[in-house]
């Protein structure tokens, strides 16, 4: 049976009065004090007893329940929903229930509701995080090949460059282009071309390390970023990839098999080499575009010289990194390209930028020669 707070207080006071009567009654009667004086002294002694003994009844009256409630509320503030709390069974008549026990029951219901909402919010948060991660992956992934897309490649290239400058570790950048891919599309259709692109993407994922990045820049052009890799290691890696590509037969939807080759150009980016490039080409040359231009230059050298090969930009540019090939030989090399490759090379943004810079330099030199020939 539960007792309400007021009844607990009354019972405690009654017990204290009984104790006072048992303790002080015989003493006063033994002193032969008159009746009125006895009542006054007896009342005063009982009040003192109530004041002194009532705190010892407080744990039973309310203090124990209040501490349990306080511990539960503290746990709720800290996100702990498992703090134990003792709740007496609910009586048939709600008016007979102790007020603190009713409060603990209400707090337990509130705690259960909060726990349910917290679990729901946690599940929703995990679902939102999962969706955000899926959207992020979709935004940086090429859907056909499963590799990263061009946007993410440029972000990682800039990050790799910044890391290389801070720690002085070189990294390799590779550009890979499928040979005669237009012929594949013309012969086997775009579905066949898609199958070739997807298979090459799978090969790149199989051969790349966890720290490497493989991306599809667009069309049949792919790129790799190989952190902490030397020129020799990069060349060996690309030669193994080239051999694996030779041994791989790509099955098309019509059951026919197809083998492809690829041209690969690469460069090793280090802080010293980038500083040399900046001094040679001016401010802003030490950037991801400069690195990609080097790899692209090596790739186009392979394209002009038979395709299906691996070439390092450093092998084309020994010493301080400038090309020793005369302009006439460059023009002859471009003339050996098929008509569609000449158009493609001329439309490439990096080649257009290089041609514009060369035209400006040529115009400036012509103006200087004219001014020198003009009589004073």
Confidence band, pLDDT 50/70/90 cuts, at residue 36:
low
Structural domains in the chain, CATH included, are 5-114 (no CATH), 146-325 (3.30.70.270)
Residues 260 and 251 sit within 8 Å (Cβ to Cβ): no
Residues 219 and 149 sit within 8 Å (Cβ to Cβ): no
Residue 117 clears pLDDT 80, i.e. is over it = yes
The reported pTM is 0.57
Quick one: which H or E segment has residue 177?
Answer: strand 171-178
Confidence band, pLDDT 50/70/90 cuts, at residue 308:
very high
Taking alpha carbons only, the member of 289, 173, 266 closest to residue 225 is 173
Measure the CA–CA gap between 312 and 232, rounded to whole angstroms: 10
- 50-70 pLDDT, tens per residue? 878 777 777 766 778 888 888
SS3 category, 252: coil
- Mean pLDDT over residues 119-141, rounded? 91
Give the pLDDT score at 63: 77
Positions marked catalytic: 220
Burial class of residue 311 in the structure, from the number of CB atoms within 10 Å of its CB (0-12 exposed, 13-18 middle, 19+ buried):
buried
Residues 193 and 253 sit within 8 Å (Cβ to Cβ): no
Highest mean pLDDT of the ranges 3-7, 9-13, 212-216, 270-274 = 212-216
SS3 category, 42: helix
Name which residue leads in pLDDT, 260 or 373.
Answer: 260
Q: Which of 61-65, 194-198, 250-254, 304-308 has the lowest mean pLDDT?
A: 61-65
Residue 124 clears pLDDT 60, i.e. is over it = yes
Give the pLDDT score at 265: 96
Beta bridge partners of 269: 171
Highest mean pLDDT of the ranges 57-71, 123-137, 333-347 = 123-137
Q: How many CB atoms lie within 10 A of CB 168?
A: 10
- Mean pLDDT over residues 336-347, rounded? 39
Percentage of the chain beyond pLDDT 70 is: 72
Residue 148 clears pLDDT 80, i.e. is over it = yes
Residue 360 clears pLDDT 60, i.e. is over it = no
Q: Which residue has the tokens 């401010």?
A: 283
Q: Which of 65-79, 160-174, 302-316 has the lowest mean pLDDT?
A: 65-79
Please give the mean pLDDT across all residues of the chain: 77
């Amino acid at each position: 049976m539960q007792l309400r707070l007021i009844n607990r207080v009354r019972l405690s006071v009654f017990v204290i009065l009984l104790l006072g009567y048992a303790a002080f009654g015989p003493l006063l009667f033994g002193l032969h004090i008159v009746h009125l004086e006895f009542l006054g002294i007896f009342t005063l002694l009982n009040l003192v007893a109530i004041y002194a003994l009532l705190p010892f009844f407080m744990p039973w009256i309310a203090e124990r329940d209040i501490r349990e409630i306080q511990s539960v509320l503290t746990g709720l503030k800290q996100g702990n929903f498992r703090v134990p709390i003792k709740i007496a069974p609910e009586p048939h008549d709600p008016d007979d229930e102790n007020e603190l026990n009713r409060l603990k029951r209400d707090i337990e219901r509130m705690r259960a509701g909060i726990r349910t909402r917290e679990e729901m919010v946690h599940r929703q948060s995990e679902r939102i995080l999962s969706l955000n991660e899926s959207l992020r992956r979709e935004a940086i992934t090429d859907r056909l090949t499963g590799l990263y897309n061009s946007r993410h490649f440029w972000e990682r290239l800039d990050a790799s460059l910044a890391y290389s400058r801070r720690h002085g570790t070189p990294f390799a950048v590779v550009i890979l282009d499928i040979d005669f891919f237009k012929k594949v599309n013309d012969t086997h259709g775009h579905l066949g071309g898609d199958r070739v692109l997807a298979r090459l993407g799978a090969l790149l994922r199989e051969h790349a390390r966890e720290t490497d990045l493989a991306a599809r820049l667009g069309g049949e052009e792919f790129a790799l970023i190989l952190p902490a890799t030397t020129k020799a290691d990069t060349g060996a890696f690309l030669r193994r990839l080239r051999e694996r590509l030779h041994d791989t037969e790509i099955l098309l939807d019509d059951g026919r098999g197809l083998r492809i080759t690829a041209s690969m150009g690469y460069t090793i980016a280090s802080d010293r080499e980038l500083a040399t490039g900046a001094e040679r080409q001016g401010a802003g040359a030490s950037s991801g575009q400069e690195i990609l231009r080097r790899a692209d230059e090596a790739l186009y050298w392979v394209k002009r010289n038979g395709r299906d090969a691996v070439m390092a930009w450093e092998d084309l540019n020994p010493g301080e990194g400038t090309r020793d090939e005369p302009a006439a030989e460059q023009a002859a090399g471009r003339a050996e390209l098929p008509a569609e490759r000449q158009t493609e090379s001329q439309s490439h943004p990096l080649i257009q930028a290089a041609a514009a810079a060369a035209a400006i330099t040529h115009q400036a030199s012509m103006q200087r020669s004219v001014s020198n020939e003009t009589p004073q």
